[in-house]
Amino acid sequence: MSRFDLSRDELAALLEGEPSYRVEQLWRAFHLEHLDVSEVTTLPRPLRQRLALEPALALAWRVARESTSDGGATRKWLLEADDGARVETVLMGYRRRTTVCVSSQAGCAMGCSFCATGQLGFGRHLSSGEIVEQVVLAAGEAARAGFGRLGNIVFMGMGEPLANAANVLGAVARVNRDLGIGARSVTLSTVGVVPGIERLATEPLQVNLAVSLHAANDELRDRLVPINRRYPLGRLMEACRRYREATRRRISFEWALIAGVNDRPVDAAELAALARPLGAHVNLIPLNPTPGYPVAGTDAAGVAAFRDALSERGVNATVRHTRGREVDAACGQLAAGMEVGGLGRRRPARVAAPAPLA
Ligand code: SAH
Ligand code: SF4
């Protein structure tokens, strides 16, 4: 739990007996920076001391480690909670707008073979407040570092957001209301949890949806993304179609390009056949190597050829700029403190790296 799980009324109740403006003062201070109550120097010292003892006002996360890359523009924090849960949050600073990549779970139960988080296994769900707290930490650091205002949130850190949909949507509503970041600036990336996509189709909050596809036939997708056995491509595409119809919003497909596995002309053709009718945009990410899946990402020429093959079939694709590779902050490399253990213990990859197909 985090202080950001409290409502304003609950905060007011904790401040009973104090002048009423204190509620607003503290609420604002909390949303400005990731500070302990004892450090909120606008409050009188005796009040600070009293509130510092209040468990409901505590922060969930301690920054256990910070790593930077790209000349300081990419910052990754390893965060640790009192129960030992560890997650990672990545801030990507650009001059005009800054993006934070947040975690929705400690570890992940989905077991995708190529993903460092999947190789870690499941720890626990994060509460809404624990997600909001990551955004507050990032916003404060972005301001301090002189980056552009934190305007975008992507759920591409640890965990599967639609396996923790209630808390994730609660967090989106809160950042919307309390930090002024609109749902349209929030992207949920899902491995394809069909009931979650169906729920998003009826949600009033209009977030962007990215679906991590990686394979466009069931045989290959079953191996790369085990949840495909439960929600195969037919059902997934049907859910995407309904989402698109209900929200009129464009979907994007994420595709980690794996050398010799899903980067052949036939893969591009199959992907285009799924993306085109949906008007989906494709994000191509050369696979980042992980300890449990020592297969190379597609090289630059191969990536360009794949993009061109999509474009010839009328599908727009963007090659995702990989940030933070040297601090393992890039997609799928988040494996919070794997070397140290903790909740979300390391366990061997359940799905062995597939041999490259002929
Ligand atoms: N669980 C969600 C969100 C977190 S993963 C999901 O899977 O969509 C964020 C993105 O990184 C996903 O598109 C995921 O497929 C991708 N990814 C995972 N491992 C990767 C790797 N080793 N290299 C490149 N991208 C990877
Ligand atoms: Fe979980 Fe996403 Fe990694 Fe799959 S790719 S194991 S869903 S975090």
Residue nearest to atom 6 of ligand 2 (CA): 118
Number of domains into which the chain is organized: 2
In a domain, residue 350? The reply is: no
Which pair of tokens denotes residue 13?
């109740």
CATH number assigned to the domain comprising residue 109: 3.20.20.70
Question: 29: domain CATH number?
Answer: 1.10.150.530
In this structure, are 51 and 65 located in the same domain?
Answer: no
Whether residue 314 sits in one domain with residue 202: yes
CA-CA distance, 291 to 207, in Å (whole number)?
Answer: 32
pTM: 0.92
In-domain check, residue 346: no
Residue 247 and residue 137 share a domain: yes
Both tokens assigned to 152:
């975008």
Atom of ligand 2 nearest to the CA of 158: 8
On whether both 22 and 71 belong to a single domain, the answer is no
Both tokens assigned to 101 = 């990549």
88 counts as catalytic = yes
Q: Same domain for 31 and 113?
A: no
**Residue 149 carries which side chain, given as an amino acid letter?**
R
Give the C-alpha separation, 283 to 68, whole Å.
24
Q: Are residues 73 and 94 in the same domain?
A: yes
Q: In this structure, are 278 and 221 located in the same domain?
A: yes
Instruction: Give the alpha-carbon dihedral of 31, 34, 40, 42, to 10 degrees.
Output: -40
Per-residue pLDDT of the chain (358 residues; tens, 9 = 90+): 999 999 999 999 999 999 999 999 999 999 999 999 999 999 999 999 999 999 999 999 999 999 998 888 999 999 999 999 999 999 999 888 899 999 999 999 999 999 999 998 999 999 999 999 999 999 999 999 999 999 999 999 999 999 999 999 999 999 999 999 999 999 999 999 999 999 999 999 889 999 999 999 999 999 999 999 999 999 999 999 999 999 999 999 999 999 999 999 999 999 999 999 999 999 999 999 888 999 999 999 999 999 999 999 999 999 986 666 656 665 566 665 543 333 333 333 333 333 333 3
Q: Quick count: other Cβ atoms within 10 Å of Cβ 266? A: 12
Cα distance between residue 173 and residue 130, in whole Å: 14
Q: Which domain holds residue 51?
A: 3-56
Residue 41 gets which letter from DSSP? T
Give the number of whichever ligand sits closest to the CA of residue 333.
1
The reply to whether 202 and 306 lie within a common domain is yes
Which positions ≥6 away from 204 have C-beta within 8 Å? none
- Considering the domain architecture, whether residues 280 and 153 belong to the same structural domain is answered as yes
90 Cβ closer than 6 Å to some ligand 1 atom? no
Is 334 domain-assigned? no
- Between CA 319 and CA 300 the distance in angstroms is 10
Active site residue 112: no
Question: Rounded distance, CA 318 to CA 339, Å?
Answer: 34
Residue 311 lies in a domain: yes
From 108, 112, 115, 331, the catalytic residue? 331
**What CA–CA distance (Å, rounded) separates 216 from 40?**
52
